[in-house]
A and B are shown apart, each in its own frame.
Chain A
């Protein structure tokens, strides 16, 4: 049982480049989330999806986009990366929007 997988594990990216972080879950959870975690700031919600075909903006959505074509996948795209997007990104999922959230292993992204 994999749970939630994320790829890549880590990435160094030049500013201005486009990057897609992948997230896949095999728990058939309806809700999925993207967070970024920065030292001293905790986890902040970027975008979320309550069910396949729908997405919503979180606390810090600027510079990021998401799509939810099916239940399992929830990719996060940085259209033109900037150094302030250097962070650790976590994908999470939950059964409905009222259950506990399960987190993927994270992607460490460095934008130079």
Chain B
């Protein structure tokens, strides 16, 4: 089975940095994805990690440690438009995604 945990909610100030942690216990591992989902909209792809280490993409970075079953998404220079849910998803050996429940980030002025 799959068990993916991430915090339910986080609040941060505009211009700040927020780190969203994701821990997982899965029957297989073939990569970890982060998606962003604004209220009432579809999830959109943010990042993908399959090897240990940090992947940087503009203001967003994602880190993976396979031995620890741990990932984080780092959002820098927060903007109001970053208020959204962030979904951690693990791909198993059958290439199917299992999603965490999501972390709702609220950015305050």
Contacts and interface: CB of A to CB of B under 8 A. Distances in A.
State whether these chains interact: yes
A104 B44 CA distance: 10
A103 B43 contact: yes
B42 A103 contact: yes
Q: How large is the interface on B (under 10, 10 to 19, 20 to 34, 35 or more residues)?
A: 10 to 19
Contact of A40 (B33, B87, B101): B101
Interface string B77-101: 0000000000101000001111111
B99 A43 contact: yes
Contacts of A59: 98
Contacts of B43: 43, 90, 103
B96 to A, nearest CB: 6
- The contact size tier of chain A is 20 to 34
Given A42-B101, A42-B102, A100-B33, A58 B45 contact: no
Given A42-B87, A42-B100, A43-B87, A101 B95 contact: no
Interface of A: 33, 35, 40-45, 48, 58-59, 90, 97-98, 100-106
19 contacts: A41-B101, A42-B87, A42-B100, A42-B102, A43-B87, A43-B89, A44-B99, A45-B96, A45-B97, A90-B43, A97-B95, A98-B30, A100-B33, A100-B48, A101-B45, A102-B45, A103-B44, A104-B42, A105-B41
